[in-house]
Chains A and B, each alone.
Chain A
Amino acid sequence: MSIESINGCIGCEECIKSCPTDVIRLNPTTKKAEIVYQEDCQICHLCRMYCPVDAITISPEKSIPVIVSWG
C-alpha cells in the first residue's frame, strides 16, 4: 500500500513539503495532511522521517502491485 495512513497529524505540513512526488496534500477543511496521490508514492520514507510526531505508517508494497521479471 506504500504510504498507508496518517494518524495524529498536527498540520505542520512537513510531510507535504518533504514528499518528492507530491503524494500528500493539506485538507483545507480539517487542516491536516491527507494521502491524495498514493499511486505516486516511491516508498522513500522522507515523509515519515520528517514527521515530528511519528504519525505516518508505510508498508513496502506499491498500491498497484509490481510484476517483476524474477517474480
Chain B
Amino acid sequence: MKESTNNLSRRKFIALAGGAASFAAIAAMGLPTDWALNTTKVDVDSLSFDKIKTDVLVIGGGMAGLFAAVKAHDAGAKVLMVSKGRLGASGQTPFAKGIFTYDPKKEKLSIDEFAQAVSRSALGTNNPAYTKQLAEHSLDRVNELKQWGFFDSSLYNKSFSKPINDRNIPLQERVVITHLIKENNKIVGAAGFSLDSEKIIFYEAKSVILCTGAGGFKPNGFPICDLTHDGTIMAYNIGAKVTGKEWNDGHPAKSENAAACYDGWGDMFEKKPETTSVEIRHDLGVDMNYTAYINGGAAQMGPPGMGKQENIVVGGPYRPEEFNNAGGHQGGKKEGEKRPPRKEGKGGPPGMGGSVVGGSSAGMSIHKAEGIVPINDQCESNISGLFAAGDALGSYMAGAIYTQIGSSLAGSAVQGAVAGEAAAKYSKTVKTASISSSKIKEIKEEILAPLKRDAGYSAAWVTQTLQGIMIPNFIIYIKKENLLKGALAYVEELRDHHLPTLRAKNFHELRLVHETANMIVTAEMKLKASIMRTESRCSHYRIDYPEVDYENWNVWINIFKGEDGTMQFEKQPFNTWPI
C-alpha cells in the first residue's frame, strides 16, 4: 500500500531517516522530496582537516579574548586566537559603549567599600574577590585600550587589531569551535570548522581560555543572535562545573520594529565608547516583566536609564531601598542625559518608534554571573588547563544582578588579562599536548553528523520551537514550579528527539545546528536551576517563593555532568571556592 505524506507517522519517518532508506528510497515511495530531506551538496567524506599546535588557545574575539591573547603572549606563551566572528565585531563587545574605571585618585569609596556596596545591592550573590579585582585592574586596562585607539572610534576592529598585529599573534576568524578536548583529565585542545574554507580544524593546545561570552535564546531586539552559550556547554560536556543559570537579564525593547537591535538602542551603536565611574545600581529587568504579567499585555516603561516608570504595580521582585533607582541600564549613557536627534541617511533607520517594553533579552545571562565555575581568583576551572574570562566565566563579579554601570566591558578586560597570564604560566608546566587519532575520528564524526543525515529537523525550526517554550514571561521571568516543569518536559523532548536529528545542508546551517544544540542544553539547565532555587533574589523571581531566603539560599548553584551523563546540581555557599 502506498503511504501518503499525511499519514506517514513520525515513528516511521525516524525509522526511514535513520535507517537504510535513503533519499532515493523515499522518492521511490512517491513522497515529496523536499520534505525534511537534507539537500546537501557537501561531499563530507572528502573534507580535509588541519591540525595546529599552540601553547595557549584563546577562543573568542571580544574584549576578554583581546586581553587574554595579549597578556598570554606578553607572559611568554605562544598564542593563537580563534573567533566565530570578527575580532571586536562579534558577541556583545561591539555594542557595549561604557567601560568602568576605578580611579583611586577620584573615587570617594575605597575598593573594599566599593565591594561591600556591590554586595549590598547584589544581596550577597557577588564574589568579592572578583569584585575587588575589577576595581584594582580596571584603570590599567582602560589606559592600554586608550593607547590602542579604542576610544577614537565607534567600531572596535581597528583598535583590537593593533596589539594583536604588533605582536604577530595568529588570528583565525569565522571559525566555529564545537568541541573542547580533554585527555587524561587535562585539556589538550579544541576542534571546530571554518565557515569560509569549509574545513575541520583541530587545535592542540596546552591550555585553553574560553572568552566565548554567554548567550540567550536568540530573542528579538537584542544583538546576541551569535551568542548561544557555546563555551559553557562545550566545557560542561568535558566535565567542567558551570553556574548561574537561574539568573536572567531583562533589557527593554521598542514596541515598534521590536526585532531591530539597532533601532532599539538608538544611536548608541554609532557612539564612541566612554568611561564610567563608581555608580552602583540594582538594575532588575525582571520587574518590567512582572508589571506586564500583572497588568496584562506590555509594560510601558520610561526611557531606559531615566529613572521613570509608568504603570507601577505593588509587590514583585525585591529591590533594596538603598538602590531604589528604577529603570533599565545602558552602557555609557549618563543618568538624565538626552539623546541627540537621530540622523536620517541612506541605509539609516527611520527612528525609534513606540514605547519601551520589557523582555527583549529573554533568557540572556547576567554579565559575569553565568558560566564556568572558577576554582580561584585566577579564572581557572576544575579542569587542568581550562580557563575562562568575561561573560564565559561565572565569576559573580557584579553578583546576580547588574550592579555597576560599565562593569561588563571592564570586567571582561580585567579577567581576560588575569586568565591570559595564568594560562601562560600553566602552559609552562605542561610538556606537550596532543590529541589522539581515535579522538580526532570521534570528534570529526560528531561535528559532521548533521551534514550526513538524509533527513531531519532544521535548526531554524527547532530554535523557533525552543523560543516559543522559553521566551514567554510566565516561564523565564515570572517563575512557578508547575510551568517550569511543563517547559522542562518540552525541552527534554527537544533534547531527546530533535537534537539528535538536526540536519544541515551547508556550513552555515552546520553552525546553526551546533548553536541550537547548545541552546537546548542551556534551556534544560536554566529550567532545572530555576526549579531548584526555591526563593526570589536579584534577577531570579519565583512567584510561588517571592521572598529572599537568607537561611537556606545563600549559595550559588553549580551544574555538572554526572558519571552516567545526567545533569547534576550542587550548592556552593557564597564566598567560598568549590571543593
Contacts and interface: CB of A to CB of B under 8 A. Distances in A.
B155 interface: yes
State the majority secondary structure of interface residues on A: loop
Contact of B260 (A36, A37, A61): A61
**Of A18, A19, A21, A62, most B-chain CB atoms within 10 Å:** A21
Contacts of A44: 94-95, 223, 261-262, 269
A48 B347 contact: yes
Nearest to A23: B508
Interface in B331-378: 346-347, 349-350, 357
B132 interface: no
A60 B292 CA distance: 24
B460 interface: yes
B110 to A, nearest CB: 39
Given A22-B508, A60-B350, A45 B269 contact: yes
B511 interface: yes
Interface in B92-145: 94-95
A37 B509 CA distance: 10
A46 B89 contact: yes
A8 to B, nearest CB: 11
B237 interface: no
Contact of A50 (B89, B226, B263, B298): B89
**Size class of A's contact patch?**
20 to 34
A33 interface: no
Q: Is the interface of B mostly helix, strand, loop or mixed?
A: loop
Contacts of A42: 223, 225, 259, 261
Interface in B245-281: 255, 257-263, 269-270
Given A18-B89, A70-B357, A62 B220 contact: yes
Contacts of B173: 17
B39 interface: no
Given A20-B90, A50-B89, A56 B347 contact: yes
A45 B259 contact: no
A18 B157 contact: yes
A70 B85 CA distance: 33
10 contacts: A18-B89, A21-B225, A40-B225, A42-B225, A42-B259, A43-B259, A46-B94, A54-B346, A60-B350, A68-B255
Interface of A: 17-22, 36-37, 39-40, 42-46, 48-50, 54, 56-58, 60-62, 66, 68-70
